[in-house]
Chains A and B, each alone.
Chain A
Amino acid sequence: MSRPKYDLGREINSILATDCGSTTTKAILIEKRDGVYRLIVRGEAPTTVEKPFEDVTAGARNAIREIEELTGRQLLDEKGIITPQKGQRGVDIYLSTSSAGGGLQMMVAGVVKTMTAESAQRAALGAGAIVMDCIAVNDGRKPHQKIQRIRHLRPDMILLSGGVDGGTKKHVVEIAELIAAAEPKPRLGIGFKLPVIYAGNKDATPNIADTLGDKMDLRVVPNLRPVLEKEVLGPAREEIHNLFMEHVMAQAPGYDKLMKWTPVPIMPTPAAVGSLVEMVGRQRNITVIGVDIGGATTDVFSFFEDTFNRTVSANLGMSYSICNVLLEAGLPRIQRWLPFFISEADLRNRIRNKMIRPTTIPQTLEELLIEQAICREALALAFVHHKSLATGLKGVHRGGTMDRFMEQRTQKETLIDMLKLNLLIGSGGVLSHAPRRVQAALMMIDGFEPQGVTQLAVDSIFMMPQLGVLATVHPEASAQVFDRDCLIRLGAVVATAGQSSAKTPTEVVRVKGTLDRGETFEESVKYGEMKRIPLPEGVTAELHITPAHGFDVGAGPGHRLETKVEGGVCGLILDGRGRPLALPEDPKTRAAKLLEWFRALDVYPGGPLDRLTGKEGAN
């Protein structure tokens, strides 16, 4: 078990945690019962950072009051949260995360786009920020264009990096001069100086101070890339968190009070989720991808090769940013997931209406299918973004010719290897609240296209943020609740990498399974088919997976793989559609294929689906 970041020096038996989101504040109560920490109850209420309340604690109190009503316990008094617990009154600790008011918005800058600027981007993203722009000497823009951009943005802070320690100072000072010339203003607080964190060549620090010291609130931390071969993100991330508390939180309505309720700093929501994903990966020694698809943004987290990465696609979401999914993916890519005809104008109007009335929910199956089609494309776009940033360090030279050749190869490659992915976790309303869990499973499979054998899970009620901040105080409690109450195990998917052009589909994979309770099964799928094998939660199965020639399930093309999987509510899904996933071009054939998959996996209710697809053909 990892050590807590904050040691309270006392026993904790009850924990109250809130996540103050853009629209909703969610509270959970955790208690130790029979030696194990469990989720007891949750409550939620609208977030109140806007008018007429303009006090985040009002929403937090409302959410906590729901918990009081459900448990019959008093947790609040006029001063705030009652701590520590005495009898049935109060809790031992209160914690919170926040993304209200637009979260943490940053601009980052570095010298070389794919080196120091990318390291700065990783530092900011890992700290839970939305990166509004990334400025670099070689980003293709002219100096005046960069200055215009910097002036136009109103970030909460800037992270500036560049150069290795002892290297050339000129370029990083050039970037600092651009920032000084632009004189950007902070998003909050008209009279305040914008905080700038300098994490570049230490020899250039006096020059940076000379350039920015008067105009900005300059903070200096150790270099992100002291040498090319090393990336040190910790100190910059710490400083981002400090500034988040000092500037962003301190100026958001009511946060001064909320900060006094909790003994540990309020964490940005994505940073909390990220720390939890990383913890899961490290503790279980597995590769993990997590996704949180919200109304405005989609966050992707990964833990591969002992490296944690997070990206946020700031304008890919299911409500406020839903039209941006339409814009980036294009209408045909959304239509391709629909097994019925809908005119372009109708579909576009519906997507716009969801944007302007974001709190509505699908009432008909047709509307549900449209939302889930958009979700698939949002996930796919966010994942492409993530893979492009989750890479090894670039600019590293390793001597010999063969090494250089290898380095050039790996520089272009992402750390993400889908054949090696062990666990894919989904979160966010469209996944967590899908009426059938298998819908969430299929959206994730279609959006991420896992290959080989991958376990699937969803966050039951979106409590990963609270468990992330809890992990900084009590990793054991966090891990226990995550395992027992947060994760809904969907099961596993076996998907073959490779494609076939054969006119008549042939078998692509055969799976023989032995359950831990002794039963056996054998199943196979042809190219383009999907099947679902019951494998309940709590049951594990030893699998012998034999792919066809040219297809890979993780042991190499055509090679047999032996592995163990855990069951879940969706069981074991066999996906013989190949990778990369290619849907039939012809609309009628595609619609028939979609229906075949939906029926094979029992994704949607049969009656409404038949009525819906009995309409006038496909797109």
Chain B
Amino acid sequence: MAHAYTPGLKVTDYTVLRRQRRLPIQGDVLVKLGDTVRPDTVVAKTMLPGDPQTLNAANVLALLPNEVRSAMKKKEGDTVKAGEVIGMSASLFGLLKKRLVAPCDGTIERISDVSGQVTLREPPTPLELTAYINGKVAEVLPREGVVIETRGAYIQGIFGVGGEKYGPIRFRAQGPDRPLTAADIDQTCKGCVVVGGSLITGEAIRKAVEVGAHAVVAGGIIDTDLVEYLGYDIGVAITGHEDVPTTLIVTEGFGPMRMADKTYGLLKSLDGLEASVTGATQIRAGVMRPEIIVSGYQPAKAQAPAETSEGLVPGTPVRLIREPYFGRLATVVELPPELVVIETEAKVRILKARLESGEVVTVPRANVEILES
């Protein structure tokens, strides 16, 4: 393949971003094209149909399915209250009465003459969709949602858990290769996006939850700490829907991982600014990575937005993303065109890269990630 390398994660101090905000079912859009929105602005809302309850009326009333309708006190479309008797049957000359009671408030949706089931629909629940980021409404999707556009700093992580959050960045890292410990987190982190160095330790996660931090960002996480935090093991790489109080984002991978200097430096310069973050990760069918967006950030010297990556060339900064050099940063030195036999005896395209220590190593091209700007 022409591009046998992994495009890197985006880390930039200035870019233009668009985020689509879409209702799960059709509803009302509450903002107009060009409106300015904040992360908590409700941009669209809808009524989610209530949960249905199926009542086995034929069994309860001891009737045949096709006799249920005539025993009902309510008909399809009628509203009912919890505890209300909605059907009744009598036997033994009216001495034995059986009652069908509504288990909840709702509407009778269906009375089935074939199965003898009655479907009761609970009242609908409102769903409000927020803007998630600061920005302007760039497009309205009638009855479905909007597209919000913003400009500012943008950092992609490699993996995260937890949903959308926003809050000011609290930069608490002691260095890109130093772990974030519980001692680095205090009450001032409440409602904030806390940034650490190489690792979110298990104790730091617990402390972040305790003080009410909205999110924590660091280079790596130990797998067993993540399992402990979630209470279960993640099987498939689709996240973002976890019911956790604090969103976690790792920028490099699993294990203690020195945070890339560029990411570290940018997060440091964003200290105190409001960020929108999400841990949602999906590594399949439309790759989605966790992200940190700081709208309105104006760097002293803005980078020209890179439209497309040039690909791998000598001098390209890369991250090595597989053992035995996993997590190391390097610069491409040479890209031999021929296939090379590596230790496993596989014949692959390789490149030579200079590590920060000065050592030149050979790695498969598939095992590097371009450090994107």
Shortest distance from the beta carbon of B220 to any chain A beta carbon, whole Å: 8
A8 within 8 Å of B (CB atoms) = no
Q: Are A345 and B344 CB-contacts (below 8 A) given A360-B322, A364-B323?
A: no
A598 within 8 Å of B (CB atoms) = no
Shortest Cβ distance from B327 into A: residue: A353
User: Interface segment, B80-88, B168-176, B231-239, B264-272?
Assistant: B231-239
B127 within 8 Å of A (CB atoms) = no
Q: Encode contact with B along A18-53: 1 for CB under 8 Å, 0 otherwise.
A: 000010100000000000000000001110001100
B52 within 8 Å of A (CB atoms) = yes
B94 within 8 Å of A (CB atoms) = no
A446 within 8 Å of B (CB atoms) = no
Bound CA span A260–B54, Å:
46
Inter-subunit contact B283/A358 (CB<8 Å): yes
Shortest distance from the beta carbon of A141 to any chain B beta carbon, whole Å: 12
Q: Are A321 and B1 CB-contacts (below 8 A) given A350-B323, A356-B158, A364-B323?
A: no
Determine which of A143, A315, A367 lies in contact with B54 in the assembled complex, contact meaning CB atoms within 8 Å.
A143
Chain A residues lying within 8 Å of B119, measured Cβ to Cβ, are: 177, 180-181
Chain B residues lying within 8 Å of A361, measured Cβ to Cβ, are: 322, 346, 348, 364, 366-367
User: Interface segment, A113-121, A168-176, A511-519, A587-595?
Assistant: A168-176
A557 within 8 Å of B (CB atoms) = no
Shortest distance from the beta carbon of A233 to any chain B beta carbon, whole Å: 26
Shortest distance from the beta carbon of B219 to any chain A beta carbon, whole Å: 13
Q: Encode contact with B along A183-205: 1 for CB under 8 Å, 0 otherwise.
A: 10100001100000000000010
Q: Are A46 and B285 CB-contacts (below 8 A) given A361-B322, A361-B367?
A: no
Q: Are A327 and B285 CB-contacts (below 8 A) given A144-B54, A345-B224, A360-B321?
A: no
Chain A residues lying within 8 Å of B363, measured Cβ to Cβ, are: 363
Shortest Cβ distance from B3 into A: residue: A46
Which residues, 320 to 365 on B, are CB-close (under 8 Å) to A? 321-324, 326, 342-346, 348, 363-364
Q: Are A357 and B110 CB-contacts (below 8 A) given A147-B51, A349-B255?
A: no
Which residues, 51 to 65 on B, are CB-close (under 8 Å) to A? 51-54, 65
B253 within 8 Å of A (CB atoms) = yes
Determine which of A171, A295, A363 lies in contact with B322 in the assembled complex, contact meaning CB atoms within 8 Å.
A363
Inter-subunit contact A352/B223 (CB<8 Å): yes
Q: Are A357 and B321 CB-contacts (below 8 A) given A177-B54, A181-B54, A349-B255?
A: yes
Q: Encode contact with A along B140-152: 1 for CB under 8 Å, 0 otherwise.
A: 0000100000000
Determine which of B25, B51, B234, B237 lies in contact with A148 in the assembled complex, contact meaning CB atoms within 8 Å.
B51
Determine which of B25, B53, B237 lies in contact with A185 in the assembled complex, contact meaning CB atoms within 8 Å.
B25
Bound CA span A46–B6, Å:
11
Chain B residues lying within 8 Å of A256, measured Cβ to Cβ, are: none
Inter-subunit contact A365/B343 (CB<8 Å): yes
Bound CA span A368–B364, Å:
14
Bound CA span A406–B236, Å:
41
Chain A residues lying within 8 Å of B53, measured Cβ to Cβ, are: 143-144
Inter-subunit contact B54/A178 (CB<8 Å): yes
Q: Are A321 and B236 CB-contacts (below 8 A) given A345-B223, A345-B224?
A: yes
Determine which of A100, A191, A360 lies in contact with B26 in the assembled complex, contact meaning CB atoms within 8 Å.
A191
Q: Encode contact with A along B4-37: 1 for CB under 8 Å, 0 otherwise.
A: 0010000000000000001011100000000000
Bound CA span A148–B322, Å:
41
Chain B interface, DSSP helix/strand/loop, else mixed: loop
Bound CA span A328–B22, Å:
35
Chain B residues lying within 8 Å of A320, measured Cβ to Cβ, are: 236-237, 283-284
Chain A residues lying within 8 Å of B117, measured Cβ to Cβ, are: 174, 177
Inter-subunit contact B344/A364 (CB<8 Å): yes
Chain B residues lying within 8 Å of A368, measured Cβ to Cβ, are: 344
Q: Encode contact with A along B95-120: 1 for CB under 8 Å, 0 otherwise.
A: 00000000000000110101111010
Question: Which of A170, A207, A357 has the largest number of chain B CB atoms within 10 A?
Answer: A357
Chain B residues lying within 8 Å of A207, measured Cβ to Cβ, are: 114
B222 within 8 Å of A (CB atoms) = yes
A433 within 8 Å of B (CB atoms) = yes
Inter-subunit contact B115/A170 (CB<8 Å): yes
Question: Which of B49, B344, B346, B366 has the largest number of chain A CB atoms within 10 A?
Answer: B344
Bound CA span A181–B255, Å:
46
Sorting the interface of chain B by its residue count into under 10, 10 to 19, 20 to 34 or 35 or more gives 35 or more
Q: Are A363 and B283 CB-contacts (below 8 A) given A324-B236, A350-B323?
A: no
Determine which of B224, B234, B324, B348 lies in contact with A364 in the assembled complex, contact meaning CB atoms within 8 Å.
B324
Inter-subunit contact B144/A190 (CB<8 Å): yes
Bound CA span A319–B284, Å:
10
Chain B residues lying within 8 Å of A433, measured Cβ to Cβ, are: 346
A435 within 8 Å of B (CB atoms) = yes
Shortest distance from the beta carbon of A168 to any chain B beta carbon, whole Å: 10
B132 within 8 Å of A (CB atoms) = no
Inter-subunit contact B324/A46 (CB<8 Å): no
Chain B residues lying within 8 Å of A364, measured Cβ to Cβ, are: 323-324, 343-344
Inter-subunit contact B285/A102 (CB<8 Å): yes
B2 within 8 Å of A (CB atoms) = yes
Inter-subunit contact A357/B54 (CB<8 Å): no
Shortest Cβ distance from B324 into A: residue: A364
Shortest distance from the beta carbon of B111 to any chain A beta carbon, whole Å: 10
Determine which of A148, A191, A350, A435 lies in contact with B345 in the assembled complex, contact meaning CB atoms within 8 Å.
A435
Bound CA span A493–B121, Å:
60
A366 within 8 Å of B (CB atoms) = yes
Inter-subunit contact A355/B237 (CB<8 Å): yes
Bound CA span A362–B323, Å:
8
Q: Are A435 and B112 CB-contacts (below 8 A) given A144-B51, A362-B322?
A: no
Bound CA span A435–B363, Å:
17
Determine which of A51, A173, A183, A360 lies in contact with B366 in the assembled complex, contact meaning CB atoms within 8 Å.
A360
Bound CA span A320–B233, Å:
14
Residues of A within 8 A of B (CB): 22, 24, 44-46, 50-51, 62, 100-102, 143-144, 147-148, 151, 169-171, 173-174, 177-178, 180-183, 185, 190-191, 204, 207, 211, 295-296, 315, 319-321, 323-324, 326-328, 345-346, 348-350, 352-353, 355-368, 433, 435-436, 605, 608
Q: Which 10 A-B pairs have the closest CB atoms?
A: A324-B235, A181-B52, A435-B345, A352-B254, A349-B254, A348-B223, A174-B115, A173-B114, A349-B255, A360-B322
23 contacts between A and B (CB under 8 A): A22-B284, A62-B2, A100-B285, A144-B53, A169-B114, A177-B112, A207-B114, A296-B236, A323-B237, A345-B224, A348-B254, A350-B254, A350-B323, A353-B322, A357-B253, A357-B322, A359-B6, A361-B322, A365-B343, A367-B344, A433-B346, A435-B345, A608-B343
